A and B are shown apart, each in its own frame.
Chain A
């Protein structure tokens, strides 16, 4: 069964260091999402891609966070420099597209990357 892949699963880093997370969506899925989930809370959207284009990055702290999806397939989320408050689960999700049938927009989530900043 097709799945969203993420790596690494766990990352421990010191503050002020750079970290990067990778996501490979389900094959053929045009829309890719990066979420941040702080312990005890629901996920919040950081950035949304449609193919290689950013659709929504209004909640992305752009002074330290960047995201790219150069070929419209896999994606990388980077934090530089990391801060203590960045400790969270970073989730990637994908869906077939943004328009059309409701099922076209069902999001499938990856296992997440748990980041701990010391």
Chain B
């Protein structure tokens, strides 16, 4: 069983919809990361959080340490949000363990 599980694996939405991607992990962590990867591209760090909630523009990330669960929300989705969203956790050694990613497609 992967230490980091994401759901859904694939998500298709219409422009303007509110989107939620979930991440569950099974180990103790020092931080959880949400990353974005466009097709054929490198990875961009969206959030790094260890508690509570962070907001950046239309993106919101939350984490519940007790439940070992995090969510990434996108409000008013846009086709340019189409990408793979990857959840990763880091432990005491700061080594990242990645989920397999969620492929998001936002249609106009």
Residues of A within 8 A of B (CB): 6, 40-45, 48, 56, 91, 93, 95, 98, 102-103, 105-112, 114
A102-B42 in contact (CB<8A): no
- Contact partner of A42 among B31, B50, B95, B100, CB < 8 A? B100
Once A42-B99, A44-B98, A56-B95 are accepted as A-B contacts, the answer to whether A102 and B41 lie under 8 Å apart by CB is no
A107-B31 in contact (CB<8A): no
Complexed CA–CA distance, A6 and B96 (Å): 20
Complexed CA–CA distance, A45 and B31 (Å): 17
- Contact partner of B31 among A41, A91, A102, A109, CB < 8 A? A102
Interface of A is mostly: mixed
Q: In the complex, how many angstroms separate the beta carbon of A116 from the nearest chain B beta carbon?
A: 12
Interface of B is mostly: strand
Closest to A41 in B: B100
- Contact partner of A109 among B30, B45, B50, CB < 8 A? B45
> Please, which residues of chain B bring their CB within 8 A of the CB of A114?
40
Complexed CA–CA distance, A111 and B40 (Å): 9
B42-A91 in contact (CB<8A): yes
Query: Could you tell me how many residues of chain B have their Cβ less than 8 Å away from some Cβ of chain A?
Result: 24
Complexed CA–CA distance, A112 and B39 (Å): 12
B42-A111 in contact (CB<8A): yes
A40-B48 in contact (CB<8A): no
Complexed CA–CA distance, A108 and B104 (Å): 22
A107-B44 in contact (CB<8A): no
> Please, which residues of chain A bring their CB within 8 A of the CB of B99?
42
15 CB-based A-B contacts, threshold 8 Å: A6-B42, A40-B100, A41-B100, A42-B4, A42-B99, A42-B101, A44-B98, A56-B95, A91-B42, A106-B33, A106-B45, A107-B33, A109-B45, A112-B42, A114-B40
Q: A43-B43, A112-B42 known; 9 other A-B pairs, CB under 8 Å?
A: A40-B100, A43-B98, A48-B95, A91-B43, A102-B31, A105-B31, A109-B43, A109-B44, A111-B41
A102-B30 in contact (CB<8A): yes
> Please, which residues of chain B bring their CB within 8 A of the CB of A112?
41-43
Once A91-B42, A111-B42 are accepted as A-B contacts, the answer to whether A106 and B48 lie under 8 Å apart by CB is yes
